[in-house]
Structure 1
Amino acid sequence: MNNVQWTDDSYRYVWNLFRSYGMGLIFAANIFGAGSIYILSSVGVSFRFTLLWVLPLSLGVGLVVHEMSARLAVLDQPLMGYIRDVIGSPAAKAFAVFIAFIMHLWSVANYALTGAALAFLTPLDSVVIATVLSGAAGITLIELRVYQRIEAVIATLVLVVFGSYLVIFLGIDIPVADVARGLVPAVRTKMGPLTMIIALVGTTIYYPNFFIQTSMHQAKEFDTVSQYRRDHTVGLVAAVLMSMAVLIVAAITVPSGVVSLVDPARPLVEELGSWALTVFIVGAGAASFSSATGTLFGAGFMVPQAFGNDTAFGDRPFRIVVNGLIVLSLLLAVPILTFTDFSAVQLALVVPAVNGVIGLPVTVLALYGAMHRYYNPTWIENVIFIGIVILMFLVALLTATSLAETIRMLV
């Protein structure tokens, strides 16, 4: 009888943890997708530990932007509702559909990399078929409809990813002194390091999360800003810690540029054994699937809200939009993988940048405007918020310049 009671108590404890921090872990999942894994690996290879300090900085910036978002969430004021009021219904509809299309490009890349991981780990011999199966699994997840169930699944996947990289991280010798020096800010004027700094900031501050957070009042039933703040802080810290682990592991073990699914893991296999490859691919696949699916939650709220619907998580308009974008992601991913020279990893590196260049600065600007409608920020808060808006437009500008050159080299 005591064993049953202990099991029930444990279940309730885990359920309460997911309730308190599950949305933040979804944010972590959305941030830490396929692109992040390979972008971070590339940074570690090219610059070793010298840009490590950017990740704690990105955490600070992300917390500031989420502070704006949380203040709207506790008032149950979705960001798209504010945008619709400001620019009008016709413009809001066009904007929402356009941004949703751009947003779903993240899922194109992540479902493709999920498929590549699935094909590697199973007898399936086709990345295309495995990609389609990954998208079908995403639709199945959405059809659970109840937010708490979906939150629990994605939060569990995030913990799997975290555990995978923790196992690898603990299996290698870490040069503590070099890592510590990498945490000391050092700004370089050369375009290469500067562009990677901006890319790391933009990867951590992921704009669909703000549309999600400001729309989750009914599902989460948080009553105070502090509850939202605690939740998203845990999520962002988890994402940054995972990012730091990937960058450090790549800086230590990867001898050359990352070009394929398994390249970041090859040195780990030599150092730790064949199990490291499986652990790495499981982590990459889980991260990609959770990010591909969770990202589209933002569109599931945003599009119906632009059309004047007070949508809730899992209702019919939400599911129509999210499932439709998953299908569209597959319809775009399959021909790209079949008829072009783009690999799943190349998609993971390029497409997320296309996503962020357009959506990130506009979203942060809208958050700033909404803050002034619903709150009266202090002058210090105003200075900080304006600085973040300027930084996000700088992120978009420099990323666009670098992205154009990257696409030219790949095509």
Structure 2
Amino acid sequence: MSIRQAAVPDVLSGIVQKYGLAFVMVASYFGSGSVYIASQAGVTHGYTLLWAVVGAALLGFMAQDMSARLGIHGESLMVFVRRRLGRPIATAIAVFLSIGCVAWTLGLVAAVGAGISFLLGGAVGWQPIAVVTTVAAIAVGLLDYDSVENLMIGMMLALMVVYVVVALPSGADPRAITLGFLPTADSLGTLTMAAGILGTTALWPNFFLESILVHTKGWTNKSDIPDVRRDLAVGYAVGGVTTIAILIAAAALLRPMGYTSLKTFITPGRALVEVLGTWAMVLFIGGVVAAAFNSIIPIMWTPAYIVPQAAGYDSPRDSRLFTIIFAVGTGIGVLSPVVSSILDLSVVDMVILFPMYNGIFSLPIAAILLFWSVNDGETMGEHRNGWKLNVVNASLVLLAVVLAALSVRDFIGLISTGGF
């Protein structure tokens, strides 16, 4: 091997070591919920919610930037909450937020099970596969951080390629796509779906994780902020492009064929087969499986970090406490068939509604806490938000609260009536 050839892996290794945290964050938000929320948005509203995808990605970037600066200049978000509100209130908040993580995992586990079941030709039902998925997620989540990060980078890049390849031959109207990036009066009737997109993109667990994990990349002072922002820009660009590709494919292919909702887990794939061929079905469902499994790990890391921090305990990833909370919380995923049966929710309902739950109930709380922390002089010192950053960052809080208030009634109706 030549010196030049040997240098290529070294360069790639150096890039991965320097960057990559954003891919863990984006992998957590880009799960089956993102895939089906984007598909549902395209089916029910055409291209009109493309603006929401871009807006959600930008808001996610802003939130991650706040969280990273908090971790670099101050402390992790939940440590800040405990210090300011005290252990009992901080613990109550951590437990409430963790319920959302568990709910999310129930949907993600179901999605992996349903996807693998379909790829196996229905030889095995999704319910037993959900049990195996849960065990596998626990095993992967307890690997060393670098191994998980490398897995997330590879999976996210592969997912972007998969869904762009599916979307390119869809025959979408360029003019209609362009107009979809501009909010219009028609968008006012789509706020529940917009809340779902926001809730699954500006992911509240990442507000806590970024402030905790930022030190794994050696980012410890103000001079590292440009690297943080480059990392976030690349990660959210990959996630945003992937979501846009899915929405466009659904709007261009499913909507003209008369679909008004995603009746089954494989509805998008069936329509893709009719237009593009069997390969599109395999890519779509394979992507759903990979995206769902990807998301379980970082989402369930969150309770394992924040519940001990809220209670005043240190919980590094190699600690017994972290292992127990992560394994038990993730292990509840085996109950996804039971939840599906009791609430009369399909797999598609679960992977769309549970992210919506987090967008409506958990995101506003996390956004307010994060905004408070980066404006706290005692915590951030001279690095606290200036008025310009506050104007921009306040948009996340405002949008999260407004969308939650406007969407909660529709969400409760969907949950209580058996989904879509």
TM-score (norm 2): 0.91
1:1-400 correspondence runs (5 A): 1-2=1-2, 8-75=6-73, 77-122=75-120, 124-144=123-143, 146-188=144-186, 190=188, 192-223=189-220, 224-254=224-254, 255=257, 256=259, 257-330=261-334, 332-337=335-340, 341-373=344-376, 374=380, 375-400=383-408
More displaced 10-residue stretch of structure 1: 355-364 or 108-117: 355-364
Q: Secondary structure at the match of 1:410?
A: coil
Tell me if structure 1 keeps the 8 A contact 2:343–2:418. Answer: no
Unaligned runs of 5+ in 2: none
Deviates more, 1:72-81 or 1:372-381: 372-381
Unaligned runs of 5+ in 1: none
Q: Residue 130 and residue 189 in structure 1: after superposition, are their counterparts in 2 closer, same or farther (change >3 A)?
A: closer
Is the alpha carbon distance of 1:203 and 1:142 closer, same or farther for their aligned partners in structure 2, counting shifts above 3 Å? closer
Q: What is the Cα-based RMSD across aligned positions, in Å?
A: 2.0
- Is this contact kept in 1: 2:53–2:240, CA < 8 A? yes
Note the C-alpha offset of 1:265.
1.5
In the alignment, is the contact (CA less than 8 A) between 1:142 and 1:319 conserved in 2?
A: no
Structure 1 residues 27 and 340: alpha-carbon distance in aligned structure 2, compared to 1, 3 A threshold: same
Cα distance, 1:160 vs. partner? 2.3
Q: Give the Cα–Cα distance (whole angstroms) in 2 for the partners of residues 111 and 6 of structure 1.
A: 44
Give, in whole Å, the separation in 1 of the partners of 2:343 and 2:51.
Answer: 37
Shift of 1:262: 1.0
When residues 262 and 225 of structure 1 are mapped into structure 2, their CA distance, relative to the original with a 3 A threshold, is same
Contact 1:188/1:194 (8 A) holds in 2:
no
CA gap 1:115/1:9 in 2 versus in 1, 3 angstroms: farther
Deviations 1:266-304, CA, capped at 9 Å, x for gaps? 221112211111111100110011112221122221112
Among 404, 414, 418, the alignment partner of 1:410 is 418
Q: How far apart are the structure 1 equivalents of 2:366 and 2:47?
A: 31
**Range with bigger deviation, 241-250 or 92-101:** 92-101
CA 1:189–1:248: 2 relative to 1, 3 Å? closer
Paired residues, number: 406
Give the distance between the partners of 1:264 and 1:199, measured in 2 at CA. Answer: 19
> Per-residue deviation at 1:355?
2.2
**Structure 1 residues 182 and 386: CA distance shift in structure 2, 3 A:** closer
1:131 maps to amino acid? A
Q: How much has 1:6 moved relative to structure 2?
A: 5.7
CA distance in 1, matches of 2:58, 2:91: 33
Partner secondary structure for residue 212 of structure 2: coil
- SS of match in other structure, 2:375: helix
State the alpha-carbon separation in 2 of the partners of residues 16 and 220 from structure 1: 11
CA deviation after TM superposition for structure 1 residue 189, in Å = 6.9
Q: Tell me, yes or no, if the aligned pair for 1:219 and 1:312 is still in contact at 8 Å.
A: no
Tell me: CA distance 1:76–1:135, structure 2 relative to 1, closer, same or farther (3 Å).
farther
What is the percentage of aligned positions where both structures have the same residue?
29
Q: CA deviation at 1:150?
A: 0.9
TM-score normalized with structure 1 length: 0.93
